[in-house]
Amino acid sequence: MRKILVLFLIVFTSNQVFTQVKFEKEIRVKERDVPGVALRFVDKLEFPKKVKWFKEIGLDRISYEAKTKKMGQWYSIEFSADGTFEDLEIVIEPNEIPDASYKRIISYFNEKHEKFSIEKIQIQYSGNHTLNYFLSSGPVVDLIIRYEIVLSSKVEGAYILLEELFDNEGNFLNSSRIILERSDNIVY
């Protein structure tokens, strides 16, 4: 019986070995519920529009996210539960990715996905000097730039949502399957 169970798990998970599962539930929160260090970080960026704060509850973590719009672009800034900066993301169009990087990304999609549709692209900035980069007030030596792409992909006859991450050169880093609704019940 144990051998059958192990075999079942291997076969069942073989297509998902390299894909993590991502579930996030966003809950709108007030500024007073956000760690002070995160508030100060966002205040320094002096966004002209109101910043909306969200608490994200994932499968294994809690984080805070600030969302706003500046000069026609949507910004999303993520912090850990204690307010430590994680990354700043801006929604972009495909033509805002350097040609060579975008070609590499599309080539990866064509190779790995039966059919796909890009739903959203974000440029992601992280590293210790990200704030300096956006304030143009200091070194940006360790600025990390990545592209986070949400796509609908056909897998075994059904469409699923994936979030795939690429480095600045368009090299694949990782993939997460997006679960839109979490259920603690067994679904038959």
Assigned domain for 47 exists: yes
Assigned domain for 11 exists: no
Amino acid at site 54: F
Write out the two tokens for 86. 């994680």
Assigned domain for 91 exists: yes
The per-residue pLDDT for 181 is 63
Write out the two tokens for 10. 């291997």
The per-residue pLDDT for 156 is 84
For residue 63, the domain's CATH number is 3.10.450.360
Distance between CA atoms of residues 136 and 130, nearest Å: 10
The pLDDT-based confidence of 180 (bands split at 50, 70, 90) is confident
The domain containing residue 139 runs over which residues? 18-179
Residues 6 or more apart whose Cβ sits within 8 Å of residue 156: 15
Assigned domain for 1 exists: no
Distance between CA atoms of residues 56 and 29, nearest Å: 10
Assigned domain for 54 exists: yes
What's the whole-model pTM score?
0.82
Q: What is the CA radius of gyration of the chain?
A: 19
Amino acid at site 33: D
**pLDDT tens-place string over residues 86-145:** 999 999 999 999 999 999 999 999 999 989 999 999 999 999 889 988 888 666 778 999
Question: Considering its fold, how many domains does the chain have in total?
Answer: 1
List, as one string, the DSSP characters of 29-89. Answer: E-GGGS-HHHHHHHHHT--SSPPEEEEEEESS-EEEEEEEEETTEEEEEEEETT--EEEEE
C-alpha 148: how far from its chain's center?
A: 6
Strand partners, 25: 57
Judged against a pLDDT cut of 70, whether residue 3 lies above it is answered with: no
- Classify residue 123 by burial, with Cβ atoms within 10 Å: 0-12, 13-18, 19+: middle
Judged against a pLDDT cut of 70, whether residue 176 lies above it is answered with: yes
Assigned domain for 5 exists: no
Assigned domain for 187 exists: no
